[in-house]
Amino acid sequence: MSALLRTDIPGARRVVVKVGSSSISGENAHKIGPIVDALSVAHARGTEVVLVSSGAIATGMPFLALDERPSDLATQQAAAAVGQNMLIYRYQEALRPFGIVAGQVLLTAGDLENSTHRSNARRAMERLLGLRILPIVNENDTVATHEIRFGDNDRLAALVAQLIGADALVLLSDIECLYTRPPGEPGARPITDVEVGDDLRGYEFGSVVVNSVGTGGAATKASAARLAATAGVGVLVTSADLVGPALDGAPVGTWFHPDPAPRPTSMTGSVRAVDRLKG
């Protein structure tokens, strides 16, 4: 069987889509609607869709009268507890016209390192998908600690895609594709395809960006994409504004070709391996 191509995404059996905090919170909260519209189209044609969504802390901040992301763990946990509830409510309201029910799945890095917890998570998501429920996955910020966090939801999305045997992973960003260096700098060139084994060390993706609402950046997306592709999952990195064309197989974003002969890896190793892939 040939490796999945970008144009094959509409016919994929199972797709994981990841959206970041900055794309769905604050002044961009209205973008939940268009994202859900695109997911519903994929769902209607029979694709099993899993959404990995950041945004719990960012969504909860206004309800705690916070102007910026809290730095202490306890306040982050409090904001997440409030925000996760509101976030799922907003998604469910957007899904309601399409007759789609959301199912909340909260995970920690420890869950995926523990074989029993990992098996339970896989079984629960398999059953949700079998019932045509749309699982919405996030890190369980209310119980995660600094020492055992995924660090960013790009990593979580790559691990979820591997956990459930997804065909494709779509990592939504604030820019249309990855560039050879920050897109505002002279000489920056768009990267359309990354083949298996391509050396990315010459590209200047930059360090992890920590902004007022979330964590992430081009470097985390590149490393998470490489991790998932190594496990046999095709990965597309593109803008949240292009989620519809992305799921329709349009020539957008940066496509990481999946390894046609993926090497078996343990989930425990994958949880820790992403940091070694950055750069």
| Structure token pair of residue 80 | 């997440």
Query: Is 31 marked as a binding-site residue?
Result: no
- The residues, any chain, with a CB within 8 Å of residue 174's CB and separated by 6 or more, are 20, 22, 23, 239, 240
- Residue ranges with strand state E in the chain: 14-19, 48-53, 102-107, 134-139, 168-173, 178-179, 190-191, 193-194, 209-210, 215-216, 234-239, 254-256
Query: Is 18 marked as a binding-site residue?
Result: yes
CB contact at 8 A, 243 and 35: yes
Residue 191 pairs in a beta bridge with: 178
Which residue, among 41, 42, 16, 20, has the nearest Cα to 31 in the 3D structure?
20
CB contact at 8 A, 192 and 178: no
Q: How many CB atoms lie within 10 A of CB 30?
A: 8
Query: Is 174 marked as a binding-site residue?
Result: yes
Residue 50 pairs in a beta bridge with: 16
Query: Is 259 marked as a binding-site residue?
Result: no
Ramachandran angles phi, psi of 162, nearest 5°: -70, -40
Query: Is 153 marked as a binding-site residue?
Result: yes
Give the CA dihedral 33, 39, 41, 44, nearest 10 degrees: -120
CB contact at 8 A, 138 and 54: yes
Binding-site members are 18, 54, 141, 153, 173-174
Binding-site members for substrate are 54, 141, 153
Binding-site members for ATP are 18, 173-174
